[in-house]
Amino acid sequence: MHEVKLLRYALLNFFFFSVLVIPIFGQLPVEDPADEKPTGCDMLRTVLDTAVLEAKRATRNSFVFIVFRRGNGENQKELISSRMSTVRRHFEFRSSDMKNVILAEGERHAGLGRADFFFKGELAAVLYFPTNEMLGSTCKNDEN
């Protein structure tokens, strides 16, 4: 029963994210780093839940890539690993293994730190982080 509720929730999030959010709010990279704003909690959870769903649907030869990049003023070496750890915990919380998920550290980004989500080889979403903050550190910690 729990899996049915989780699947229904993930499908609703996927619909919301892919049909409503990206076309309206443009949660893809912005042109000017000065226009970047930290991603809100609802969008953060939607993107992570969509990544879980995509990983569950992935075949043997398809992957979900999540590339974490440090932003201006982010020099802590542990920052990327703590952000990756938060994603791993979210997958564990959603009872999903990570066999089709690849987490990587990318080049530094001029602007806020970010995570680029690639589904089926295409950039699907970008999450922006407050400087030197962990993933979701400003969110109410009710899930992860």
The tens digit of pLDDT for each residue in 1-52 reads 555 555 565 555 555 545 444 443 335 566 677 778 888 888 888 888 888 8
**Could you give the CA distance from residue 57 to residue 100 in angstroms, rounded to a whole number?**
9
Q: In the predicted model, is pLDDT for residue 143 greater than 90? A: no
Q: Domains of the chain by range and CATH?
A: 2-129 (3.30.360)
Are 69 and 113 in contact, with CB atoms under 8 Å apart? yes
Which residues touch 49 (CB under 8 Å, ≥6 apart)? 9, 10, 13, 14, 94
Q: Which of 27, 129, 144 is nearest to 69 (CA)?
A: 129
Burial of 56 (0-12, 13-18, 19+ CB in 10 A): middle
